[in-house]
Amino acid sequence: MRGLVFDIAHLLAGSLVLISFVMLYQDRLYALLNVFAVHALVLAMSVTWQAYVQNAPHLYVTAAIALIFKALIIPVGLHRIIRQLGIHRDIETAVGIGPTMLAGMGLVALSLMLMLRVTAEADPLAREDIAFALSIVLLGLLMMVTRRNAVSQVVGFMSLENGLILAATAAKGMPLVVEISVAFSVLIAFIVIGVFLFRIRERFDSVDDSALDDYRGERQ
Partner 1 sequence: MTASFINPVAAVLIIPATAAVLLVLMPGYRLTARLNVLASLMTFAAALTLFVTERPTPGTYVLIDDLNIVFIALNTFVGFTASLFSASYIGHELESGRLTPVYLRFYHAMYQIMMFGMNLAFVSNNIGLMWVAVEVATLTTVLMVGIYRTHEALEAAWKYFILGSVGIALALFGTILVYMTARPVIGEGSDAMVWTVLVTRAVAFDPALLNVAFVFLLLGYGTKVGLAPLHAWLPDAHAEGPTPISAVLSGLLLNVALYVLLRFKILMTANPAALAPGPLMVLMGLASLIFAAFMLYRRRDIKRLFAYSSIEHMGIIVFAFGMGGPLANFAGLLHMVMHSLTKSAIFYAVGHVAQIKGTQRIADIRGLTESHPALGWGLVIGVAAIAGLPPFGIFMSEFLVVSSTFAREPLLAVPLAFGLLIAFGALLLRLTGVAFGKPLGSTAPVAASYVPLYAHLALVLMAGIYLPPPLVAWFRHIAILLG
Residues in touch with partner 1 (CB under 8 A): 114-115, 117-119, 121-122, 126, 130, 133-134, 137, 141, 144, 150, 153, 157, 160-161, 164, 167-168, 171-176, 179-180, 183, 186-187, 190-191, 194, 198, 201, 203-204, 209, 212, 215-218, 220
Q: In DSSP terms, which residues pair with 28 in a beta bridge? A: 90
At closest approach, how far in Å is the CB of 171 from partner 1? Answer: 5
At closest approach, how far in Å is the CB of 2 from partner 1? Answer: 19
* Cα–Cα dist 26/147, whole Å: 11
* 98/203 with CB nearer partner 1: 203
Contact (Cβ atoms closer than 8 angstroms) between residue 43 and residue 167? no
At closest approach, how far in Å is the CB of 27 from partner 1? Answer: 21
* 34/178 with CB nearer partner 1: 178
* 42/133 with CB nearer partner 1: 133
* 98/218 with CB nearer partner 1: 218
* Cα–Cα dist 104/198, whole Å: 31
CA nearest neighbour of 136 among 18, 49, 8, 33: 18
Position 56, amino acid? A
* Cα–Cα dist 35/19, whole Å: 7
* 86/215 with CB nearer partner 1: 215
**DSSP codes of every residue in 68-129:** IIIIIIHHHHHHHHHHHHT--SBPPBSS-HHHHHHHHHHHHHHHHHHHHHHTTTS-HHHHHH
Position 163, amino acid? G
At closest approach, how far in Å is the CB of 11 from partner 1? Answer: 22
At closest approach, how far in Å is the CB of 157 from partner 1? Answer: 6
